[in-house]
Chain A
Amino acid sequence: MVEVRLRVNGTDEPLDIQPQVSLLDALREYLGLTGTKKGCDQGACGACTVLADGERINSCLALAVQYEGREITTIEGLDHPLQGAFVRHDGFQCGYCTSGQICSAVGMLAEHKDGMPSAVTKQASGGELSAAEIRERMSGNLCRCGAYNGIVGAIQEVAR
Chain B
Amino acid sequence: MTQTLPRTHEPSVGKPVDRVDGTAKTTGAARFAAEYPYPGLAHAALVHATVSRGRITAIDTTEAAAIPGVITVLTHHNAPALKPPRRFNPLDLSTMASGTSVSYLNTDEVHWDGQPVAVVVAETLTAAREAAALVEVSYTTFASTVDFKAEEPNAEPQKGNLLMSGSAKKGDAEAALAKAPVRIEARFTTPPHHHNAIEPHATTAMWDGDRLTVHDGTQSIDWLRSHLALRFDVPVEGVRVLAPFVGGGFGGKANIWPGTILTVMAARATGRPVRLLLTREDVYRTVGGRTPSTQRVALGARTDGTLTALVHTSVTRTGRVGGNPEQVTSQSKHLYDAENILVRQNVVELDLISNTAMRAPGDSIGTASIDELAYELGMDPIELRMRNEPERNPIDGRRFANRKLREAYRLGAERFGWADRTPEPGSMRDGRWLVGMGVATAFHPAWQFLANVTVRLSVDGSVLVRCGFQEMGMGGATAQAQIAADALGVPVESVRVEYGDSSLPLSPAAGGSMQTASVASSVLTACEKLRRKLARLGRPGDDPAAALARAGVPSLEVSVGSDTRIGRLTGQVRFLSKLIRDQRRWMKAASGAQFCEVRVDPDTGETRVSRWTAAFDVGRVINAKTAVSQLRGGIVMGIGMALSEETLVDPRTGRIMNPGLGEYHVPVHADVPPIDVAYLDEPDPTMPLGLIGVGEVGITGAAAAIANAIHHATGRRIRELPITLDKLL
Contacts and interface: CB of A to CB of B under 8 A. Distances in A.
Contacts of A45: 198, 661
16 contacts: A25-B125, A38-B200, A40-B280, A87-B19, A87-B26, A90-B18, A94-B199, A94-B246, A95-B21, A95-B24, A98-B26, A102-B26, A139-B668, A148-B672, A149-B672, A149-B675
A88 interface: yes
B662 interface: yes
Given A28-B35, A139-B670, A148-B667, 4 more contacts: A90-B629, A96-B248, A141-B669, A147-B632
B626 interface: yes
B707 to A, nearest CB: 19
Contacts of A49: none
B672 A35 contact: no
Interface stretch (B220-228, B387-395, B467-475): B467-475
B70 to A, nearest CB: 14
B32 A96 contact: yes
Interface stretch (B308-316, B405-413, B562-570, B633-641): B633-641
A143 interface: yes
B629 A83 contact: no
A29 B127 CA distance: 13
Given A25-B126, A94-B197, A96-B32, A145 B473 contact: yes
Given A44-B660, A131-B674, A95 B30 contact: yes
A145 B669 contact: no
A151 interface: yes
A145 B246 CA distance: 12
Contact of A76 (B27, B248, B280): B27
Contacts of B632: 146-147, 149
B106 interface: no
Interface string A65-86: 0000000001110100001101
B198 A97 contact: yes
A146 B474 CA distance: 12
Contacts of A94: 197-199, 245-248, 472-473
B126 A95 contact: no
A134 B669 contact: yes
Interface residues of A, number: 59
Contacts of B574: none
Given A40-B661, A96-B32, A144-B196, A86 B670 contact: no
Specify the main secondary structure of chain B where it touches its partner. loop
A15 interface: no
A18 interface: yes
A149 B473 contact: no
A93 B475 contact: yes
Given A34-B35, A41-B280, A95 B669 contact: no
A138 B672 CA distance: 12
Contacts of A34: 28, 31-32, 34-35
A95 B662 contact: no
Given A42-B280, A131-B674, A141-B669, A96 B197 contact: yes
A142 B661 contact: yes
A36 B475 CA distance: 22
Given A20-B126, A37-B198, A90-B19, A144 B250 contact: yes
B18 to A, nearest CB: 5
B247 A146 contact: no
Interface residues of B, number: 60
A136 interface: yes
Interface of B: 18-19, 21-32, 34-35, 37, 124-126, 195-200, 245-248, 250, 277, 279-280, 472-475, 625-626, 628-630, 632-637, 660-662, 666-670, 672, 674-675
Nearest to B37: A32
Contacts of A148: 636, 667, 669, 672
Nearest to B661: A44
Nearest 4 A/B pairs, CB to CB: A35-B28, A93-B473, A146-B636, A96-B247
B634 A146 contact: yes
Given A42-B661, A144-B248, A93 B630 contact: yes
A145 B626 CA distance: 12
B442 to A, nearest CB: 15
Contact of A96 (B27, B199, B280): B199
Nearest to B626: A90
Interface centre among A41, A78, A131 (most CB of B within 10 A): A41
Given A38-B200, A40-B280, A90-B625, A146 B661 contact: no
B560 to A, nearest CB: 28
A152 interface: yes
A99 interface: yes
A77 to B, nearest CB: 9
B693 to A, nearest CB: 15
A54 interface: no
Contacts of A43: 662
A70 to B, nearest CB: 19
A47 to B, nearest CB: 6
A158 interface: no
A86 B23 CA distance: 9
B332 to A, nearest CB: 27
Given A92-B473, A146-B632, A150-B629, A139 B18 contact: no
A76 B30 CA distance: 11
A154 to B, nearest CB: 10
Nearest to B633: A146
B199 A135 contact: no
B512 to A, nearest CB: 18
A39 interface: yes
Contacts of B629: 90, 93, 145-147, 150
A135 B669 contact: yes
Contacts of B472: 93-94
A76 B28 contact: yes
Contacts of B35: 28, 34
Given A93-B633, A136-B669, A39 B199 contact: yes
A36 B198 contact: no
A96 B263 CA distance: 22
Contact of A95 (B247, B626, B670, B675): B247
Contacts of B625: 90
Nearest to A95: B25
B636 A88 contact: no
B251 to A, nearest CB: 12
B26 A86 contact: yes
A36 B35 CA distance: 10
Contacts of B280: 39-42, 44
Nearest to A138: B669
A105 B246 CA distance: 23
A144 B248 CA distance: 7
Contact of B247 (A37, A44, A151): A37
A21 interface: yes
Contact of A36 (B25, B28, B277, B661): B28
